[in-house]
Structure formats: C-alpha cells, structure tokens
Amino acid sequence: MKFICLNSILFIAFGWFYLVYFIDRNELSRPKESLTYLNQEEDGIKIIASNLNVPLEIAWGQDNQIWIAEHGGLISRMNPETGNKQVLLELTDIWVSRTAGLLGMALHSDMKKFPYVFICYTIQKDKKYLMRLVRYKSDKDTLNEPKILMEIPAANGHNGSRLVVRKGILYWATGDALSLTDSQNPKTPNGKILRMNIDGTAPSDNPMKGSLVWAWGFRNIQGMVFSESGQLYTSEHGDATDDEINLISKARNYGWPTVQGFAESVEETTFKGLHNTVDPIKAWTPTIAPAGLDYYSYDKIPALKNSLLLVTLKGKSLRVLKLDNEGKKILGEQVYFENKFGRIRDLCVSPAGDVYLATSNRDWNPVSGFPQASDDRIIKISKLDPANPHNIVSSIPPGSKSALLYQQYCASCHKDDGMGVKGIFPSLQTSLIVVNNPKEFVKKILSGSNGPATINGVTYDTPMPSFAFLKDDELIDITTYVRSLGSNHAAPIKPELIKELRTTLNK
Ligand code: HEC
C-alpha cells in the first residue's frame, strides 16, 4: 500500500516530465517521413519492402514472388507477403556510374519449361563501355549457367534499357548510347527494339533477314510492355522536350533524332514524309522523365482497367493512361501520388490485380525531400479512387509563373534551390555567369552544351539540352527567377539581348 502510494506521488510529481521527455525523444529519433504504411495497409497503400538500392526493374514471377533487379547489380526474389528477400545473383563484372549499371531484367514467359532470366547491364572492356545481354538459368536459390547473348556499344548515358519476353521471344529496347546517327542506321544495334530467340538468334519472321531489328528511331526507352491483346508500347525520354509513349509496329521508324514528339515543324514533317515515321500516341512537354510501363487488365482496381500504367522520375508520380478499345489511342491521363513517394522507377502488377511501385530515390539524381530513411521502397497499391484527394495530392504549390517554369524545365537537373549536384549539375547560385555575364547565361540556355565544361574548378561532362524552343517571355521569366535564387540579386535580362542572341546563334 505504502509502495503504491509512493509510486503515485512520484508519478504525479515527475510523471509528466518523463512523458514529455519520452515523446520528445521519440520525435527526434523518428525518421522524417511517416512510416504509417509500413507493414500495414492504409487507404489501399502498404510498404512491403524498404532499404533497397535503386530497384531498376521489378517483375512478378510465375512463382508468385517479386523479382528485383537493383542498379548496382543485385538480383533477388522477395515474398510479397512476408517481405523476406533472397539474393540470387550479385554481378561482379558490372560497370556502375550515374545511369549506367544493371538496367533491365525479364523472366521467360514459360519458366516451368524454360527457366531463364534475361538481364542487361553495362560493363567496361578494353577501355570501352559495352552493354551486355545475358541469359541465366534459374536453379533453386541461384542463377547460373550465364550465356552472353550480345554485347553492344554503351556510353555515359542513354543506355536504355528494357527487356520483355512474350511467347518465348525476347524483345530488347536499346538506348542510342549518345550517338546521333545510330537510331536511324538499320545496321547498328543502338536506338532500336531488337527481337530475338532466347539463344540470341534472329527469328525467321523478323523484318530484315538475319537481323534482330524490329523497330528503330529511338533515343532512350525506359519502359516497355505488351498489352493483353499483344500490342507493344514503350515509354521514352525526350531531350529538353517531348517525352513519349509509342505504340510499336514491326519495321517502323519512330523518328529520333529528327522528329521529337509529334512531327510539327517543317523539318519534322519533311522527314516524316520521306521516312514514313510514326508519331507517338502521347508526348509531354515539359518533360516528366517517364520510366516503367505496365498494362492493367484486371477488375480489382476499376479506375485502372484497360490502361497503361506509367511511373515517372522527374514527375514523381503514377500516371494512368486510359486506352481506347483498340488500344491505339490514349483517351485520358490521371496523375496519382505526385511527390508522395519521390522518384518512381518501375512497377509490376500481380495476377490478383495489385500494383507494386518501386522508388528510385537513391539514384544519381536525388530530389529534395528524398531519399527518406527507408528508401528505396516497394509499395503495394490495392485500391485507387480518383475521387480520394489522398491519392492525387501534389505537394508542389503552383507558385509564380516563373517558379513553375523553372520547376518544369531546369529543376530536374539544377534542383529546386538551384544548388545542383556537385560534379553532375553545376550550381546556379554560385555560377560566375548567371549574375555577371548575362550574354553567356542566355547563350547557355539557348544553345545547351555537350560538355565537358569546367565551372568553379569542377568538370561537368553531362550534356545540357538547348531550350531555344522557349518563348522570349518565358526565357525572361526563367532567367529573372534564376538571377534571384539564393544570394543572386540581379535585374531582369533585357528582351533585346535575347533577340540579338537568337539572331547571332541562329536559334
Ligand atoms: C538535363 C539536365 C539539365 C537541364 C534540364 C538544365 N541544365 Fe543547365 N546545365 C546542365 C549541365 C550538365 C551543365 C554544365 C555543363 C555546361 O555548362 O556545359 C549546365 C550548365 C548551366 C549553366 C552554366 C553555369 C555556369 O556557371 O557556367 C547555366 C547558366 C544553366 N545550366 C542554366 C540552366 C537553365 C536556366 C535551365 C532551364 C531552362 C537549365 N540549365 C536546364 C544540365 C541541365
């Protein structure tokens, strides 16, 4: 009795102290993000895996496991119910740098009879960069018997890739590897969709006898999927403008680098007339950096039925692209989860109709607010209601017109605050030209750059696209915004300067 009394007195005297301390400490030790979804479903959302390192590709296996290919060269298999993950293969001959690394994985469409897994990744050989396509045999808990099917040129960017197997035939979407001629050259493997048997030979019904080329004229495909009825779709990164979704037909030219997005300019329509190029079924300017693409045919989430599901990096969202009955047109676009999970790289759909998203917040080009403590993550979506604001939230306030333009055209590289990423994208806050040399500043925006450039003693070899397509008043808005970022304090650039530079640069 005495003891209880003493305890109560002590609690009344000091208990609140303890409680406040405990709550405070908990607040401090808690990661910035909300972990509410971890292992429990809320609003149809559940985080089923965390602490991954840039899962480039996730695929639902016929063994009802999720197969995961991480950018650094790890292939593993995860039980979506328990989250238990088992590593099957760790590549040792891979070359990893910025976007180069393990870039594609596909499981055979009939794993029981043909237990094969196809992967492609960049390597360095005799001082050259190559993209290697390898077939592995899946055997219990490992992948073995690697058979190299192909090695093609690779580069410091634009290496694609996506792999898909349908009816025992392997499709490989290759990047142009920064070449401006390969995409239009039917004799080279880059900038193409290649179609092959599972031993790497050309099927007899390919368009050109003995050649793997199925379609060409591509820049850098980041998503590829067959619909239920067998139509092939791709998502592709444009340059400064025109990200695309294409519906792929056999032996057709998709126009890169001359035609970007829909053929509109005189140069584009002339090229289209001469080469019979195919326009995309959807294009985005400002760009969204599309990535993984999937097709949804289930009843479970009605809002997704007969749609292409596209995840985006720059756009940080899941986009639902409603198809018409023939699958030839995109009728509408709904954006979900904008900025909620950060950059999203790939997705897969289970036979139960659940959608799994894989984030890409630990990759080479991080965005503000990410990575969060448990990134990268795989997120299960089992319910989606377009009327639920929870699903559609966008945390970027529209702000001023100039802030929005900067956000749409510059921030994906130079970042929201203009500080860039050291060694990859220079800071516009500490730039020597932004404030002091308006001519060079505008010139850079109009002409872009193929690098390398040395800025404040650091070398930048990433290209910057030309933004000459922006209107004069948009350029004034953007430059004024950049000239007021952080400690930059400079007057707006005069319209005459832009006009004069357009004439001298012919832009
Ligand atoms: C795809 C990435 C990318 C985008 C988008 C981009 N830039 Fe750049 N930018 C770069 C890279 C890489 C460099 C460094 C290479 C160089 O200067 O040649 C650079 C350099 C610059 C420089 C030169 C800095 C200095 O100190 O010399 C300026 C100014 C600049 N960018 C402004 C912009 C503006 C304004 C936009 C939006 C209209 C923009 N950039 C969009 C990648 C990008």
**Start and end residues for every CATH 1.10.760.10 domain found in the chain:** 401-505
426 lines ligand 1 (CB under 6 A): yes
Render pLDDT for 369-395 as a digit per residue (tens, 0 to 9): 899 999 999 999 999 877 776 666 554
169 lines ligand 1 (CB under 6 A): no
CATH number 3.40.50.970 given to 401-505: no
425 lines ligand 1 (CB under 6 A): yes
449 lines ligand 1 (CB under 6 A): yes
pLDDT tier, 401 (very low <50, low <70, confident <90, very high otherwise): confident
Q: What one-letter code names the amino acid at 293?
A: L
Residue 438 CB neighbour total at 10 angstroms: 20
Is the predicted pLDDT of residue 29 greater than 50, yes or no? no
The pLDDT, as a whole number, for residue 15 is 45
Of ligand 1's listed atoms, the one at least distance from the Cα of 479 is 35
C-alpha span between 311 and 358 (Å, rounded): 9
431 lines ligand 1 (CB under 6 A): yes
For the structural domain made of 45-392, what CATH number should be given?
A: 2.120.10.30
Task: Tell me what the mean pLDDT of segment 322-326 comes to.
Answer: 95
Distance between terminal CA atoms of the chain?
Answer: 90
C-alpha span between 501 and 507 (Å, rounded): 8
**Start and end residues for every CATH 2.120.10.30 domain found in the chain:** 45-392
Is the predicted pLDDT of residue 397 greater than 90, yes or no? no
User: What integer best gives the mean pLDDT of the chain?
Assistant: 90
Sheet holding 282-284, edge to edge: 221-226, 232-236, 243-248, 282-284
Is the predicted pLDDT of residue 7 greater than 70, yes or no? no
Burial of 123 (0-12, 13-18, 19+ CB in 10 A): middle
Reported as type and span, the H/E element at residue 475 is helix 472-482
Of ligand 1's listed atoms, the one at least distance from the Cα of 430 is 26
Task: Name the closest-CA residue to atom 2, ligand 1.
Answer: 413
**How far out from the chain centre does Cα 449 lie?**
22
Task: Choose the residue to mutate in 288, 404, 413, 456 for probing ligand 1, maximizing ligand atoms within 8 Å of C-beta.
Answer: 413
Mean pLDDT is lowest, of 62-71, 300-309, 399-408, for 399-408
Q: Are 105 and 74 in contact (CB under 8 A)?
A: no
Task: Choose the residue to mutate in 219, 237, 414 for probing ligand 1, maximizing ligand atoms within 8 Å of C-beta.
Answer: 414
413 lines ligand 1 (CB under 6 A): yes
Sequence-distant (≥ 6) Cβ neighbours of residue 207 within 8 angstroms? 213, 214, 250, 251
Sequence-distant (≥ 6) Cβ neighbours of residue 25 within 8 angstroms? none
Render pLDDT for 30-49 as a digit per residue (tens, 0 to 9): 333 444 445 577 789 999 99
The pLDDT, as a whole number, for residue 400 is 81
